[in-house]
Structure 1
Amino acid sequence: MLISTLPVRIYYEDTDAGGVVYYANYLKFFERGRTEFLREFNVQQDTLLEKNIAFVVRKVDMDCIKSARFNQLITVKTTVIKQRRASLTFKQEIFHENGELLCQAATLIACVNLQKMKPTAIPAEIIEVIPSAS
């Protein structure tokens, strides 16, 4: 199982008035982590869009354990834990630079035909390159 890592610096724009990361921004960090995970396997989402295919979030189960703060360096870790015909489930975790777990999520991503707005099989060339637990 491959785990992709993405370092992210917390900027002022990521925080609330108290300098704490606003909870919805963890979703943005997870999105970046999934995008970079796919990029590591030369899966470019803009190329998929040209073929009227997109990955869309179907479900997120997120647990905010401890807050990240302004100017901290965090690491987003991403891996695929389940693969189906038209979906991928990612396990994602955000760690403080000292190794402390701050936030975790399981995110179900559906592969969709944009013209029909219906689920479609993940292209074979993607299935062939993405490592999966199942």
Structure 2
Amino acid sequence: MLIHETQVRVYYEDTDKMGVVYYGVYPRYYEIGRTEMIRSLGISYKEIEDANILLPARSLNVSYLRSAYYDDLLTIKTIVEELPSVKFPIKTEIYNQRNELINKGEVVLVFFNGKTNKPCRIPDDFLNVMTPYFKSKRD
């Protein structure tokens, strides 16, 4: 299993008139978390796209548990429970500065070949850096 954490500050532009994070901002926080997770593996989204591999979203599920507010420091926990193949399911948990779970969700991405416009398997370079996180303790 791969778990990565990053933090983000709630900016004024993320909130409504009451200073509460607008519900449509959470998918952007998910994207920040997964972008930083991929970067922590030594690969960037740009490198993946430069290789003509795209990662469109197939589905998005979001659960709103508590509110976040202007100027909160949030921790975005990005969780990959299984080694991706064609589908790339990514869970996200967001915690406030009191370490309370305020939001959770899952995005399922699909590896997509930009030249053929068809789904494809995870690129070998990406697979190679992810595989060590999914080896069993018996290996």
Q: TM-score range by the shorter chain?
A: over 0.9
- The change in CA–CA distance for 1:48 and 1:6 in structure 2 (over 3 A counts) is same
Match of 1:71, as an amino acid? D
The answer as to whether partners of 2:75 and 2:94 remain within 8 angstroms in 1 is: yes
Match of 1:68, as an amino acid? A
* Identical-pair percentage: 34
Gaps of 5+ in 2: none
The answer as to whether partners of 1:16 and 1:22 remain within 8 angstroms in 2 is: yes
Match of 2:92, as an amino acid? Q
Match of 1:115, as an amino acid? K
Per-residue CA deviations over 1:47-82 (Å, capped at 9, x if unaligned) read 121121111211111101111000111100001123
Task: Tell me if 1:54 matches 2:36.
Answer: no
The answer as to whether partners of 2:16 and 2:22 remain within 8 angstroms in 1 is: yes
Aligned counterparts, 1:12-23, within 5 A:
12-23=12-23
Structure with more strand by fraction:
1
- Aligned partner of 2:125 in structure 1 is 125
Task: Tell me if 1:45 matches 2:45.
Answer: yes
Deviation at 1:133, TM superposition (A): 8.4
- Aligned partner of 2:71 in structure 1 is 71
User: Structure 1 residue runs of 4+, over 4 Å off?
Assistant: none
TM-score by length of 1: 0.93
- The change in CA–CA distance for 1:133 and 1:18 in structure 2 (over 3 A counts) is farther
- Aligned partner of 2:116 in structure 1 is 116
Per-residue CA deviations over 1:24-64 (Å, capped at 9, x if unaligned) read 10100000100000111112111121121111211111101
Gaps of 5+ in 1: none
How many residue pairs match? The answer is 134
- Aligned partner of 2:34 in structure 1 is 34
CA RMSD of the aligned region, Å? 1.6
Q: Which moved more, 1:97-106 or 1:42-51?
A: 42-51
Structure with more helix by fraction:
2
